């Protein structure tokens, strides 16, 4: 297998698709609360008799919410019953779909859709899909020409949302990474799969000697393509005295899947304020975090441009090393099941993953777990 040829094919994330019980209402939620804009649609009105989907965009982040239309779609019904509203597909933009697909298949991938080519007067799209962890899939998509069609069967929608004139923009720019949670013991197997099948490499790793609380911990290895435009943290729980947030996710999601979507912004305060104004519930940082942060900063040769008191007001955490720092904040779960949530982050010459914050994040989520009665 030509690993280098494989890796150079990736151009970045293209979209995340969630299968949901009611796509129309989910689209409204992501528009109103998270600040996405609708730009493409498929459904009965466009000639799609089996699926309805709303394609939403914020900066370069594309989210698709889809529901099956006929009641007898067994694959969709089983997915919804097991996982609730959850990520079905994480799509990668590639230079040559057929080549990436064939190399993945030669390395043992399980195919869901062979490469299919679609042409319109303005361009060409080639799509193929393989299975990955749990019921999640990866789609490879090659785009060429100037086609305005998002995907075959979709129509472009010019959707001036009246609320956009009232509510401030959230300001998301692009997808920094997507975290996948897996059962304990599966981490090395999945790392090997991403290396062998997709030609990814290990970008960053952390274990439970660093990320733990009094009760539990986690182990994580971040996988990336050669260009490092795509980053996927693979996260497994490390068993502790109590159920940790990864185990809680696995229980309510019904197994492995995508837990968080990290969106880059260039003004995390503006993003946090906009989310707050839109009624998004965000994770409250434990009270001891900011005094500890001041202490750490006092020992480090690093000057924050931001005031720690303002960070505390917005529940924004900081991670740093000698090169720079990272600001990050988290929403609460997007559904009643404590599963998927969003992270918003701003990087200041820092490429890490908030490792020094993992304990605080764990503690913050454990506070919510305790409220839900899910620590035992």
Q: What local confidence, expressed as pLDDT, does residue 211 receive? A: 44
Tell me: pLDDT of 23 over 90.
Answer: yes
* Per-residue pLDDT tens over the stretch 100-125: 999 999 999 999 999 999 998 888 99
Q: Which of 182-196, 223-237, 289-303 has the lowest mean pLDDT?
A: 289-303
| 77 vs 239, more confident | 77
Domains annotated on the chain, with CATH = 3-161 (3.10.180.10), 174-372 (3.10.180.10)
Average pLDDT, the chain: 89
Q: What local confidence, expressed as pLDDT, does residue 365 receive? A: 63
Tell me: pLDDT of 13 over 50.
Answer: yes
pTM for the predicted model, two decimal places: 0.91
Q: What local confidence, expressed as pLDDT, does residue 122 receive? A: 80
Q: What local confidence, expressed as pLDDT, does residue 11 receive? A: 96
Q: What local confidence, expressed as pLDDT, does residue 6 receive? A: 55
Confidence tier at 4 by pLDDT (50, 70, 90): very low
The 3-state secondary structure of the chain reads: CCHHHHHCCEEEEEEEEEECCCHHHHHHHHHHCCCCEEEEEECHHHCCCCEEEEEEEECCEEEEEEEECCCCCHHHHHHHHHHCCEEEEEEEEECCHHHHHHHHHHCCCCEEEEEEEEEECCEEEEEEEEECCCCCEEEEEEEEECCCCCCCCCEECCCCCHHHHCCCCCCCCEEEEEEEECCCCCHHHHHHHHHHHHCCEEEEEECCCCCECCCCEEEEEEEECCCCCCEEEEEEEECCCCCCHHHHHHHHHCCCEEEEEEEECCCHHHHHHHHHHCCCCECCCCCCHHHHHHHHHHHCCCCCCCCHHHHHHCCCEEEECCCCEEEEEEECCCCCCCCCEEEEEEEECCCCCCHHHHHHHHHHHHHHHHHHCCCC
């Amino acid at each position: 297998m030509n690993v280098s040829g494989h890796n150079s094919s990736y151009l970045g994330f293209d979209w995340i698709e969630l299968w949901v019980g009611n796509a129309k209402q989910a689209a409204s939620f992501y528009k109103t609360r998270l600040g996405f804009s609708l730009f493409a649609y498929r459904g009965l009105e466009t000639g799609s008799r089996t699926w309805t989907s709303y394609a939403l965009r914020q900066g370069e982040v594309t989210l698709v919410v889809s529901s099956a239309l006929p009641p007898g779609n067994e694959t969709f019904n089983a997915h919804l019953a097991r996982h609730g509203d959850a990520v079905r597909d994480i799509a990668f933009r590639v230079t040559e779909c057929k080549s990436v697909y064939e190399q993945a298949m030669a390395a043992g991938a399980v195919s869901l859709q062979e490469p299919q080519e679609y042409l319109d007067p303005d361009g060409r799209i080639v799509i193929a899909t393989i299975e990955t962890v749990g019921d999640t899939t990866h789609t490879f998509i090659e785009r060429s020409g100037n086609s305005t069609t998002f995907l075959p069967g979709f129509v472009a929608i010019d959707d001036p949302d009246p609320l956009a004139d009232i509510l401030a923009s959230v300001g998301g720019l692009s997808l920094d990474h997507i975290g996948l949670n897996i059962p304990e013991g599966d981490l090395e197997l999945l790392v090997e799969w991403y290396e062998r099948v997709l030609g990814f490499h290990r970008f960053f790793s952390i274990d439970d000697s660093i990320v733990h609380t009094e009760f539990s911990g986690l182990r994580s290895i971040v996988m990336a393509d050669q260009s490092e435009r795509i980053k996927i943290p693979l996260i497994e729980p490390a068993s502790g005295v109590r159920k940790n947030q990864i185990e809680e996710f696995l229980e309510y999601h019904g197994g492995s899947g995508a837990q968080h979507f990290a969106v880059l912004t260039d003004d995390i305060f503006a993003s946090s304020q906009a989310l707050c104004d839109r009624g998004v519930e965000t994770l409250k940082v434990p009270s001891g975090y900011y005094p500890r942060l001041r202490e750490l900063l006092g020992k480090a040769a690093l000057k924050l441009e931001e005031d720690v008191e303002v960070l505390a007001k917005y529940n924004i955490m900081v991670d740093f090393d000698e090169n720079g720092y990272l600001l990050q904040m988290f929403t609460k779960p997007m559904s009643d099941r404590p599963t998927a949530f969003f992270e918003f982050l701003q990087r200041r010459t820092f490429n890490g993953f908030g490792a020094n914050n993992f304990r605080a994040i764990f503690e913050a989520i454990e506070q919510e777990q305790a409220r839900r009665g899910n620590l035992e």
